[in-house]
């Protein structure tokens, strides 16, 4: 990873607005050229220098020789039968691959981005974690995933409204690149996505949550909880051995005090593992008095994993128990499962599902 950092040269999408201005100034170009490029890329969603028409052709070529435009290339694309979920496989400059998912809803469109190649947390029920960890993504590699889908939507006259850092990897272990990508896309003179449109999801990296609480940024925080006792959570989310629930919840309480923002907690319900009434009560006790919201998601099937989704009836009982204890709770449905674009199904290689029935997951519960 250190080697990668040392050799990777920045692309246009790695730079914020002032860095782009400095680069062009170094090359003897006036400031307004940087503004033209910024506007073309982040407002008009240009996908290459040749699409930036206000720039003279010779300048486009000069800049292109010195600064690559985009570090990612799409190599595969699958869509769910209803067309509402799309997953794209991207190749990176070092031949690694990552996946990104677009989810359309009636009144919004959300892109689920990856922040690392693989994931070091290694939750046993998640395909990404099972495949190991390779490296952090660069800022440009994160920004590029989002621009790709903003362009796709733009061609259909639609807009991207939300970005969730819930793809491959642990965003708070790639903190700087994650935050820089948000600041770049939040720029009101550029892409202009409002801070509240971003959600960072974490397995519970306490120092990262503390740092995020100190940023002056109204982004959403989601915590992948999955269990309300340390013994079970140590197994399901191995980073819990380092950051125990007491420390995690303390960090969340501090986060709420400082930001006045509600934290959301994700719980993937697994048959016979974390879905009993006792488990629900443990979570309710843990979250008592905290400004929060719980999302209960059915476990998505992952090849080779022994874990099975909790039956619907049990999920409903679980939700009821939390609500009765005063914890706002939503029972969510799986999405994009048949194209393996659901939570925990991203693994960074071409999807066999639509072409090969042996590999096809059941279309959710
Ligand atoms: N590492 C971060 C970001 C990944 S978000 C985090 O853990 O929050 C991906 C979400 O999908 C997490 O909430 C994760 O726990 C959940 N997930 C992983 N595998 C899953 C599966 N098989 N079914 C449902 N959710 C899963």
Domain spans, the chain: 12-66, 73-361
Q: What percent of the chain has pLDDT over 90?
A: 84
Report the CATH architecture of 12-66.
Orthogonal Bundle (1.10)
Q: Tell me, what's the pLDDT at 356?
A: 31
Torsion over CA: 301, 303, 305, 306 (sign): positive
Cα 279 from chain centroid (whole Å):
27
Q: Tell me, what's the pLDDT at 8?
A: 67
The answer to whether residue 252 is catalytic is no
Give the C-alpha separation, 44 to 37, whole Å: 10
Does the beta carbon of 268 lie inside 6 Å of ligand 1? yes
| Predicted confidence (pLDDT) at residue 298 exceeds the cutoff of 60 | yes
Tell which residue, 290, 280, 227, 203, has the closest CA to residue 255: 290
Of all protein residues, the one whose alpha carbon is nearest to atom 3 of ligand 1 is 166
- The residue from 155, 170, 343, 362 that is catalytic is 343
* H-helix segments, 204-311: 206-213, 230-236, 245-259, 277-286
* CATH code that applies to domain 73-361: 3.20.20.70
Question: What 8-state DSSP symbol labels residue 309?
Answer: B
pTM reported for the whole predicted model: 0.93
The answer to whether residue 156 is catalytic is no
Same CATH topology for 12-66 and 73-361: the answer is no
| Predicted confidence (pLDDT) at residue 327 exceeds the cutoff of 70 | yes
Of all protein residues, the one whose alpha carbon is nearest to atom 25 of ligand 1 is 343
Q: Among the atoms of ligand 1, which is closest to the Cα of residue 307?
A: 22
Does the beta carbon of 344 lie inside 6 Å of ligand 1? yes
Cα 195 from chain centroid (whole Å):
15
Question: Over the stretch 252-270, which tens digit does the pLDDT of each residue have?
Answer: 999 999 999 999 999 999 9
């Amino acid at each position: 990873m250190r080697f990668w950092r040392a050799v990777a040269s920045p692309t246009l999408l790695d730079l914020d607005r002032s860095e782009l201005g400095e680069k062009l100034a170094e090359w003897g170009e006036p400031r307004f050229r940087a503004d033209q490029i910024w506007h073309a890329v982040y407002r008009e969603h240009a996908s290459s220098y040749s699409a930036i028409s206000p720039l003279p052709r010779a300048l486009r070529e000069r800049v292109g020789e010195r600064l690559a435009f985009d570090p990612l290339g799409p190599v595969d694309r699958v869509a769910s039968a209803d067309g509402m979920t799309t997953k794209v496989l991207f190749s990176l400059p070092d031949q690694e691959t990552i996946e990104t998912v677009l989810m359309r809803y009636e009144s919004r469109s959300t892109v689920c981005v990856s922040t690392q190649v693989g994931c070091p947390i290694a939750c046993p029920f998640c395909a990404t974690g099972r495949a190991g960890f390779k490296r952090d993504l660069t800022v440009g590699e994160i920004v590029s995933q989002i621009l790709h889908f903003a362009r796709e939507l733009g061609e259909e006259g639609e807009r991207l409204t939300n970005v969730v850092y819930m793809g491959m990897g642990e965003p708070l272990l790639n903190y700087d690149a994650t935050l820089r990508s948000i600041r770049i896309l939040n720029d009101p003179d550029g892409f202009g996505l409002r801070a509240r449109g971003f959600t960072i999801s974490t397995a519970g990296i306490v120092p990262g949550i503390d740092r995020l609480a100190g940023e002056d940024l109204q982004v959403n925080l989601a915590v992948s909880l999955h269990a309300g006792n340390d013994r079970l959570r140590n197994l399901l989310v191995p980073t819990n051995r380092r950051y125990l629930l007491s420390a995690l919840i303390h960090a969340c309480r501090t986060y709420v005090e400082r930001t006045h923002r509600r934290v959301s907690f994700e719980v993937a319900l697994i048959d016979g593992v974390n879905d009993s009434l006792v488990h629900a009560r443990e979570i309710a006790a843990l979250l008592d008095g905290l400004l929060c919201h719980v999302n209960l998601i059915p476990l998505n099937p992952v090849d080779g994993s022994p874990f099975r989704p909790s039956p619907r009836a049990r999920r409903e009982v679980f939700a009821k128990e939390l609500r009765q204890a005063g914890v706002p709770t939503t029972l969510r449905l799986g999405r994009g499962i048949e194209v393996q674009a659901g939570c925990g199904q991203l693994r960074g290689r071409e999807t066999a599902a639509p072409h090969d029935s042996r590999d096809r997951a059941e279309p959710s519960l």
